[in-house]
């Protein structure tokens, strides 16, 4: 569904797109090119891409958050019909491309995780600072959720209906919290007394589940990882990423690029493994004398190691500090211009780890 700017929610915080110069250099957008921003947000990356091409590119923007889409539509209005916005999760990008009549696109961008708009509005239920309803739905309940368990309908539903083992697994897997068992037990005991309704209630339950010495020495709020885990489960974030990676390569034009910014180790690992698979010629076991699988590389790695924010960007925008950017280019066509060194090795940091 194409949307226009309307009912734009006031929002005073300045928006800082993560790794902006690095993303633009990686995608190397050109006039006349077709680009997909699968996590449009407030259109920081998208508007910069349009400016970089002199307003001569074509943009397909997807976002499930109605507040974000409204603000993005206003920001992209100067480019008119060159920017088409869709109320959709990014794993459904093919539906948008089909509606636009695009067989392929020249670039795809994902900026994963939660947005500043979602974090900064207590009523959205993402932040453990302040108090709001325990929600965490990025789409605010406006989109269907095919295939997802009813207990993940919202963070409130998940907290109050999931059994101990499910909660423990989610907090261990998505939150990577060593106290997952204690936290899950505390949540179950608390909801047996009364339903957990607000972010402040949950944050306090998790805080008190931590051993006192851990609470005293923790750099971040003890509930940070639990909130992350619930958000990822409610919004099926890893499932969407896997489905996107399953579908994207046939819709990427030869010479086109995929750029993915991740903030979680599981997301980064999924992207890294898929890019490595796509860029490998033979997948046969090493003991075989010759290749029998017939697998051929379909992409080249533009970034063998992830690009990290500069120290200056991390100071200016602390939420960017854990970002990792990986980029791959589809082979079989004219290669895009390599990223200038000024925004690569000497400016953005590159991780020492693959």
Neighbours of 328 (CB within 10 A): 26
CA–CA dist 206, 183 (Å, integer): 6
Q: How confident is the model over 132-164, as pLDDT tens digits?
A: 999 999 999 888 887 777 667 899 999 999 999
Instruction: Write down the pLDDT at residue 352.
Output: 52
pTM exceeds cut of 0.75: yes
| Residue 265 confidence class, pLDDT cut points 50, 70, 90 | very high
% of the chain surpassing 90 pLDDT: 73
φ, ψ of residue 274 to 5 degrees: the values are: -70, -45
% of the chain surpassing 70 pLDDT: 88
- Per the CB < 8 A criterion, the answer to whether 19 and 348 are in contact is yes
CA–CA dist 60, 337 (Å, integer): 22
Q: How confident is the model over 180-231, as pLDDT tens digits?
A: 999 999 999 999 999 999 999 999 999 999 988 887 777 789 999 999 999 9
Spell out the alpha helix ranges (H) of 77-179.
93-100, 116-120, 155-161, 164-173
Dihedral-angle region of residue 147 (phi above 0 means left; psi in -120 to 50 means alpha; beta otherwise) = left
Instruction: Write down the pLDDT at residue 119.
Output: 86
Domains of the chain: 20-117+238-350 (3.40.50.150), 149-235 (1.10.150.170)
Q: And the tokens for 76?
A: 């992209």
Instruction: Write down the pLDDT at residue 347.
Output: 44
Instruction: Write down the pLDDT at residue 349.
Output: 56
- Per the CB < 8 A criterion, the answer to whether 94 and 251 are in contact is yes
Task: Find the angle CA(20)-CA(24)-CA(25) to the nearest 5 degrees.
Answer: 115
- Closest alpha carbon to 140 in 196, 68, 74: 68
Sequence-ordered list of residues with C-beta below 8 angstroms from that of 320, at least 6 positions apart, any chain = 16, 18, 19, 309, 313, 314
Judge whether residue 281 has pLDDT over 50.
yes
Burial of residue 180 (number of CB atoms within 10 Å: 0-12, 13-18, 19+): buried
CA–CA dist 50, 274 (Å, integer): 28
| Residue 282 confidence class, pLDDT cut points 50, 70, 90 | confident
| Residue 351 confidence class, pLDDT cut points 50, 70, 90 | low
Instruction: Write down the pLDDT at residue 331.
Output: 95
Instruction: Write down the pLDDT at residue 354.
Output: 63
Judge whether residue 8 has pLDDT over 80.
no
Q: Which helix (H) or strand (E) holds 232?
A: helix 224-234
């Amino acid at each position: 569904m194409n949307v226009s700017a309307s009912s734009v929610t006031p929002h005073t915080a300045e928006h800082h797109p993560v790794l902006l110069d690095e993303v633009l250099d990686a995608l190397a957008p050109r006039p006349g090119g077709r680009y997909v921003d699968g996590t449009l947000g407030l259109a920081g990356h998208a508007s910069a891409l349009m400016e970089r091409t002199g307003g001569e590119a074509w943009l397909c923007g997807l976002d499930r958050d109605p507040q974000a889409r409204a603000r993005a539509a206003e920001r992209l209005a100067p480019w008119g019909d060159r920017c088409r916005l869709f109320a959709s999760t990014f794993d459904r990008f093919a539906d948008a491309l089909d509606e636009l009549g695009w067989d392929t696109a020249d670039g795809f961008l994902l900026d994963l995780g939660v947005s500043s708009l979602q974090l900064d509005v207590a009523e959205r239920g993402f932040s453990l600072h302040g108090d709001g309803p325990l929600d965490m739905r990025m789409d605010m309940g406006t989109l269907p959720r095919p295939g997802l368990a009813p207990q993940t309908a919202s963070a409130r539903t998940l907290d109050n209906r999931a059994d101990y083992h499910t909660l423990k697994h989610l907090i261990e897997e998505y939150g990577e919290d060593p106290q997952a068992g204690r936290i899950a037990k505390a949540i179950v005991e608390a909801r047996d007394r009364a339903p957990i309704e607000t972010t402040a209630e949950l944050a306090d339950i998790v805080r008190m589940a931590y051993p006192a010495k851990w609470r005293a020495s923790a750099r971040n709020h003890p509930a940070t990882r639990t909130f992350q885990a619930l958000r990822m489960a409610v919004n099926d974030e890893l499932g969407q990423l896997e489905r996107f990676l399953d579908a994207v390569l046939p819709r990427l034009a030869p010479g086109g690029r995929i750029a993915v910014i991740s903030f979680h180790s599981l997301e980064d690992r999924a992207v890294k493994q898929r890019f490595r698979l796509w860029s490998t010629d033979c997948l046969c076991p090493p003991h075989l004398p010759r290749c029998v699988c017939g697998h051929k590389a379909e992409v080249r790695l533009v970034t063998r190691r992830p690009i990290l924010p500069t120290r200056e960007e991390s100071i200016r925008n602390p939420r960017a500090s854990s970002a990792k950017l990986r980029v791959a280019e589809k082979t079989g066509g004219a290669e895009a211009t390599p990223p200038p060194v000024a925004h690569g090795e000497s400016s953005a940091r590159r991780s020492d780890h693959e």
